[in-house]
Amino acid sequence: MIPIDSAHRNLEAGRLRDALAAGNSSTRLKAALAIGTHPEPGLVDALVARCAIEPDFFVRDMLTWALTRLPPDITVPKLRAELGSARAQARSQALHTLSKIGDRNAWPAITPSLLRDADDEVARAAWRAAVVLVPDREKEALAAELAMQFGRGDRTVRLSLSRALVALGDVAEPILRTAMTHHDPTVRAHASATERLLRDPESGFDLAVDEAIRVVALGPEREETSAC
């Protein structure tokens, strides 16, 4: 005979699994909240699976929160497995959740292929996760890897990359200076904007970009004028 408490838990777990797949986003949100409030390791697979397909931003955020409430030794291996998924959302949401858990044992899973992922949302999530999880001894190598993405994407993508490099701190400075001499003016402008943000985080990205574009456009002429 199954103990009453165990039977009740199994019944409740089944109800929550069904609720996570409900057509109504409010029902899914409440289910994720309930799981996070009373963490049940047996529901980790359901949470991870839902992350890969959940269309609602707020529900995804709650799913991530629920996963952070479970023991990392249970969640991290499941999330690492998702990084190899063919579904972009599965990869990006797993990376996002790993960054929130903050378990540095997950660092080896943040591969160059994820940092260069063709999907912008996956790459952005990988950059954010990387700067959270990277060991100090590997920060310089990470900065060099991230700098290879200068000039990529729209404003949102470029801002994400700049923020990741700024989060790495002083180790990024020499790499930024090198990128500021790149033959591509778009790369130079992005690197210059990032360097300005590193020096003055309050300056604002758009202002930093505008200033960087002016500097790149003027080139040596600006330097000669400044010397007068």
Phi, psi of 205 (to 5 degrees): -65, -45
pLDDT grade for 13, boundaries at 50, 70 and 90: confident
Q: How many helices (H) and strands (E) does the chain have?
A: 14, 0
Identify the residue with better confidence: 62 or 12. 62
Cα separation of 171 and 148, whole Å? 15
Among residues 131, 206, 140, 227, the alpha carbon closest in space to that of 178 is found at 140
Whole-model pTM? 0.85
According to the model, what pLDDT value does residue 227 have?
A: 36
Contact call for residues 130 and 163 (beta carbons, < 8 A): no
Domain ranges of the chain: 138-228
The predicted-structure confidence for 139-185, as pLDDT tens digits, reads as follows: 999 999 999 999 999 989 999 999 999 999 999 999 999 999 999 99
172: its two tokens: 């990024």
pLDDT grade for 48, boundaries at 50, 70 and 90: very high
140: its two tokens: 């310089």
Instruction: Indicate whether 211 pLDDT > 70.
Output: no
Cα separation of 143 and 131, whole Å? 9
The predicted-structure confidence for 71-120, as pLDDT tens digits, reads as follows: 999 999 999 999 999 999 999 999 999 999 999 999 999 999 999 999 99
Among residues 58, 69, 120, the alpha carbon closest in space to that of 95 is found at 120
Cα separation of 157 and 188, whole Å? 16
